[in-house]
Amino acid sequence: MPYNILILGASYGSLLGTKLIAAGHDVTLVCRAQTAALINAEGTEVRIKLRDEDTHRSFFSSDLKGTVDAVTPEDAVPENYDLVCLAMQEPQYSHPALADLLSRIARAKIPCMSIMNMPPLPYLKRIPGLDCAQLGSAFLDASIWERFDPRLMTLCSPDPQAFRPPEEKANVLHVGLPTNFKVSKFHDAASDAILAGLAADIDGYRINGKDVPVKLRVYDSLYVPFAKWAMLATGNYRCITAQGPRSIKDAVHADLDKSREIYGFVNDVVVKLGADPDDLVPFEKYAKAALGLLKPSSAARAVFSGATNIERVDRVIDLTARALGMSHPDIARGVAIVDDKLDENRQAAG
């Protein structure tokens, strides 16, 4: 059965959107008016490299079974959809039009799947035994999440890496790392049936008989999306230094023993939350992958381009650890460095 899916965010969201329409479902992307007009006129193009091919293949929305359109936040009608996907950076939701849309989504009680690195507060409230009282300070505006029923919020680890080529129009996305989306179940029969149906349909899609990477994998565990926390803390956020940005490779390999220590600490936090250690990625595997990550993280690039707010998963990790009676000086030091850089940017912006 085709589902109607509302995706907030037309950049990274167009990757999931393309996978869904290829599988026969219908997608609406929420974005700025100019981008919406472009998508409605020309559709979307997502470039994915198949496993046995040397170059990326373009997937045009006009060639796929489902449909895609785009609207501004003001024009989105949540009641028309079976599932909402949150594919923007957390600070973006504080924009008045998006905050209003989130409020309408919460009131409509539509199940939501976040594909942010930053776990939404309602999802964190699903974690047994986690005191979320202090976690709100990691969010630009925690109040916008208060109306959501935690039972209707799940989290999907945004492992695939993709970007908009700067020389292309805003409806083009290039997938650099075609890994899978890993989503935790809602643990609600009706909502989980939607996830299972989408996952099966995406898995079954073929082009010219060939499998297409980037699947949706569904897990019972609430903690699978947290496997990325250690990577973000060890690499992505440590690209932000007092002296300037550095590559993920340098962040990890400049002091490999320190990186191993930080990585292990964050995984210990996730295990104390309730994760199965077998669901986590070994440090050696991550460190090997980091050798190929020769650019600063998107968080670092944003900070050193003058951003006044970024997603603060680093702060979520620090506060979660403290809520569990744990702390690490390097995590705290990293949070302070990011705080200082963002404060400098705010002062410069006036």
Question: Helix (H, G, I), strand (E, B), or coil: what is residue 46?
Answer: strand
Q: Residue 180: its pLDDT value, please?
A: 94
- 87 Cβ neighbours under 8 A, 6+ residues apart: 7, 8, 9, 11, 12, 13, 16, 115, 116
Q: What is the pLDDT of residue 205?
A: 97
Q: What single DSSP character describes residue 2? A: -
CA–CA separation, 262 vs 327, rounded Å? 11
pLDDT along the chain (350 residues), means of 10: 97 97 99 98 97 94 98 98 97 97 98 96 96 94 97 92 91 92 97 98 96 97 95 97 97 98 98 95 95 92 97 98 97 98 96
Helix axes 329-349, 313-323, angle to 10 degrees: 140
The domains of the chain, with CATH numbers, are: 4-219 (3.40.50.720), 224-349 (1.10.1040)
Among the listed residues 93, 161, 112, 124, the one whose alpha carbon sits nearest the alpha carbon of residue 317? 124
**Pairing, β 181-184 against β 216-219:** parallel
Q: Which of 158, 170, 166 is nearest to 19 (CA)?
A: 158
pLDDT for 161: 84
The model's pTM is 0.95
